[in-house]
């Protein structure tokens, strides 16, 4: 799963207001009769807010850029045993923290927000965003913030510097993913899966320490815990966010139940196992966390790997840019090509890089970059379109109407929705035929295509809004005991995904920590689940209302109307409430309706396949 980047300290700020302590106002006495009747002019709060925001935003942008540059180096140049980059990153983030969380800024923000009825809506949004940022680094507890930043930098070094081993050889996570997609021997699959989990125990102490430091940090500004803090970014309480993600899970449960039954039987057949298990062994699935099963299905006529391997990685990135240009977006700025890290490191490189795809808005202006390891295959083809979705979102809301503080998605999920929407659009048959990647006359099995998509999109929901969100909610808000971390993870995997570990996984392991986001993008994985729901709502609207095409067979390429629809959503950044944006653009509130409807034609097929099979979910 790909996540767009915002420096740790400034990540994802929305319209929510941190709980504000009321600033006491001095008691005033009415003028006595003897005093002259002239009164001092009432303070002009709009002017005061404007002056403060101008000064604040300039410094914020300067420090944000420094922090981004340091983080970029830490992610693109990892030398085992060399802590230079980690030290520089920690110092840049400390400077950012000292500013965004300064006691003086917090006091002034609260004071101005006391008079929000006298301010413009966009001023209020900026002030609330700045106060939200402050809660991640309040200098009223500067020592805690400093310890948290240092701990985060150390955890990142451990995370990306880890040497994975399989059959005695060093392997990358890309290698392990490839093996899990292709290996048919269940015993070997188990060894590969276990190799992918070996990093967990090395991250345990760091993660427990980070939990305490993250919770203490936001508690200083009145949030009960770090999960509640992240949820407030949506203008919602922790309970409201959890209710929303549970509702999405429920809406998709009937489809997931069919997919789960189908997968158990099909994989048992594939691996030559006579006794079909009631729950899916995690090592059977073509993904380390069971979040994407689409590699189970090959759609004849839609295997792009040989074609893409010939075209090479550079073509994929350039083609993704051409797609956005066809919709009316500009060419990418030169800095993107000059400074991005787009391809795997050459063999024998003396350093490592983070292979997890991400998009970066370095200076909240025109410096946009992507960190990828693009290879000529279908997965990276989809990923390049996804990451450029983030990049074009950055560029579209970087306009004079949107102040730097509000240059972010309408909510965190919107950014992912844009990326994933373009990934979906770029893999539909009429689109691929138009590019000459497949023969337009080739007969493809529509049901198999839909099944492959369901094994990607629908299967992801129980992992993202179920396992990940429930685990982090337990971890941060319910203070999950240190001796129950792995047990809780597998309890949730069984409940939501119907997945169990291939062998018992005691507390000597820490399987949740093998997921990048648990360490360095915490307590907001539901963003991805919500993004898929939003993506299908947007796609449904584009297909039916703009293109007048079947949602299963669209071609966005060259449609300036589609480009204008997307740009309208992107342009305001977070200066408009995300619920308003969704309602205005699609005519409905957040709901899995469009997603359920999209996969409805698959249900009859799955029920037919599963006739006589045992359901266990």
**In which band, very low, low, confident or very high, does the pLDDT at 49 lie, cut at 50, 70 and 90?**
very high
pLDDT of residue 81: 87
pLDDT at 16 over 60: no
pLDDT in tens, 325-353: 999 999 999 999 999 999 999 999 999 99
Q: Are 492 and 471 in contact, with CB atoms under 8 Å apart?
A: yes
Q: Which helix (DSSP H) or strand (DSSP E) does residue 93 occupy?
A: helix 84-100
Higher pLDDT: 28 or 329? It is: 329
pLDDT in tens, 570-603: 999 999 999 999 999 999 999 999 999 999 999 9
pLDDT of residue 540: 98
pLDDT in tens, 227-251: 999 999 998 999 999 999 999 999 9
The sign of the dihedral angle between the CA atoms of 369, 372, 373, 379 is negative
Q: Where are the alpha helices (DSSP H) in 327-440?
A: 334-339, 378-397, 412-425, 429-434
**In which band, very low, low, confident or very high, does the pLDDT at 83 lie, cut at 50, 70 and 90?**
confident
Nearest to 289 by CA among 430, 535, 56, 460: 460
pLDDT of residue 10: 37
pLDDT in tens, 533-563: 999 999 999 999 999 999 999 999 999 999 9
Residue range 378-389: mean pLDDT, rounded: 95
pLDDT of residue 41: 72
Q: Are strands 280-281 and 358-361 parallel, antiparallel or unpaired?
A: unpaired
pLDDT at 374 over 70: yes
Q: Which two tokens stand for residue 266?
A: 């099909």
pLDDT of residue 301: 81
pLDDT at 613 over 70: yes
Q: Please state which of the ranges 21-35, 320-334, 359-373, 378-392 shows the lowest mean pLDDT.
A: 21-35
E-only strand ranges, 74-166: 164-166
Residue range 437-443: mean pLDDT, rounded: 90
Residue 228 phi/psi, 5° resolution?
-65, -40
Nearest to 99 by CA among 71, 57, 69: 57
Is residue 156 helix, strand or coil? helix
Q: Are 63 and 99 in contact, with CB atoms under 8 Å apart?
A: yes
**Pairwise CA distance, residues 378 & 583, whole Å:** 33
pLDDT at 367 over 60: yes
**Pairwise CA distance, residues 363 & 53, whole Å:** 17
**Pairwise CA distance, residues 355 & 341, whole Å:** 10
The mean pLDDT of the chain is 92
Angle (CA) 105-111-116 rounded to 5° is 120
**Pairwise CA distance, residues 413 & 450, whole Å:** 24
pLDDT at 1 over 90: no
Return the percentage of the chain with pLDDT > 90, whole number: 88
Sequence-ordered list of residues with C-beta below 8 angstroms from that of 282, at least 6 positions apart, any chain: 193, 289, 290, 493, 499, 500, 501, 502
pLDDT at 303 over 80: yes
């Amino acid at each position: 799963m790909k996540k767009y980047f915002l420096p740790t300290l400034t990540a994802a700020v929305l319209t929510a207001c941190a709980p504000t302590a009321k600033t006491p106002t001095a008691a005033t006495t009415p003028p006595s009769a003897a005093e002259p009747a002239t009164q001092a002019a009432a303070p002009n709060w709009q002017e005061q807010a404007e002056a403060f925001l101008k000064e604040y935003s300039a410094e914020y942008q300067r420090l944000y850029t420094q922090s981004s540059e340091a983080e970029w180096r830490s992610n693109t140049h990892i030398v085992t045993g060399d802590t230079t980059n980690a030290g520089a990153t920690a110092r840049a983030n400390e400077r950012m923290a000292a500013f965004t969380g300064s006691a003086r800024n917090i006091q002034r923000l609260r004071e101005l927000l006391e008079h929000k009825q006298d301010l413009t809506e966009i001023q209020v949004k900026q002030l609330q965003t700045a106060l939200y940022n402050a809660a991640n680094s309040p200098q009223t507890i500067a020592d805690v913030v400093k310890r948290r930043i240092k701990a985060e930098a150390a955890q990142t070094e451990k995370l990306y510097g880890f040497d994975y081993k399989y059959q005695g050889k060093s392997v990358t996570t890309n290698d392990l993913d490839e093996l899990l997609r292709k290996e048919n021997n269940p015993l070997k699959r188990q060894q590969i899966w276990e190799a992918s989990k070996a990093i967990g125990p090395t991250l345990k102490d760091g993660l427990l320490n980070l939990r305490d430091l993250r919770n203490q940090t936001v508690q200083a500004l009145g949030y009960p815990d770090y999960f509640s803090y992240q949820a407030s970014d949506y203008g919602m309480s922790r309970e409201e966010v959890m209710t929303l993600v549970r509702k999405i899970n429920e809406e998709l449960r009937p489809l997931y139940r069919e997919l789960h039954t189908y997968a158990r039987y099909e994989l048992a057949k594939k691996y030559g196992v006579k006794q079909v298990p009631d729950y899916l062994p995690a090592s059977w699935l073509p993904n380390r966390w069971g979040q994407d099963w689409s590699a189970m299905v090959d759609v004849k006529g839609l295997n792009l790997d040989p074609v893409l391997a010939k075209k090479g990685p550079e073509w994929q990135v350039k083609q993704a840019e051409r797609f956005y240009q066809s919709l009316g977006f500009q060419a990418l700025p030169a800095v993107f090509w000059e400074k991005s890290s787009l391809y795997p490191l050459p063999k024998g490189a003396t350093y490592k890089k983070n292979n997890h795809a991400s998009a970066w808005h370095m200076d909240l202006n025109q410096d946009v970059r992507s960190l990828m390891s693009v290879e000529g295959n279908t997965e990276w083809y989809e990923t390049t379109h996804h990451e450029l979705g983030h990049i074009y979102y950055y560029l579209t809301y970087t306009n004079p109407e949107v102040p730097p503080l509000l240059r972010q998605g309408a909510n965190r999920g919107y950014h992912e929705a844009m990326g994933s929407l373009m990934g979906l659009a770029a893999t539909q048959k009429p689109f691929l035929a138009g590019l000459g990647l497949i023969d337009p006359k080739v007969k493809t099995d529509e049901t198999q295509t839909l099944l492959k998509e369901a094994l990607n999109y629908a299967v992801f929901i129980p992992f993202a809004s179920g396992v990940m969100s429930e685990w982090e909610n337990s971890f941060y808000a319910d203070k999950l005991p240190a001796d129950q971390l792995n047990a809780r993870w597998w309890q949730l995997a069984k409940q939501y995904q119907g997945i169990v570990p291939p062998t018992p996984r005691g507390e000597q392991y820490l399987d949740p920590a093998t997921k990048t986001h648990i360490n360095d993008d915490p307590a907001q994985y539901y963003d991805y689940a919500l993004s898929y729901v939003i993506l299908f709502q947007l796609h449904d609207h584009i297909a039916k209302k703009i293109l007048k095409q079947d949602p299963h067979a669209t071609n966005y390429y060259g449609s300036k109307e589609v480009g204008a629809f997307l740009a309208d959503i992107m342009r305001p950044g977070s200066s408009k409430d995300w619920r308003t944006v969704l309602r205005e653009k699609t005519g409905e509130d957040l709901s899995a309706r469009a997603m359920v409807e999209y996969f409805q034609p698959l249900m009859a097929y799955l029920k037919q396949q599963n006739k006589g099979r045992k359901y266990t979910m």
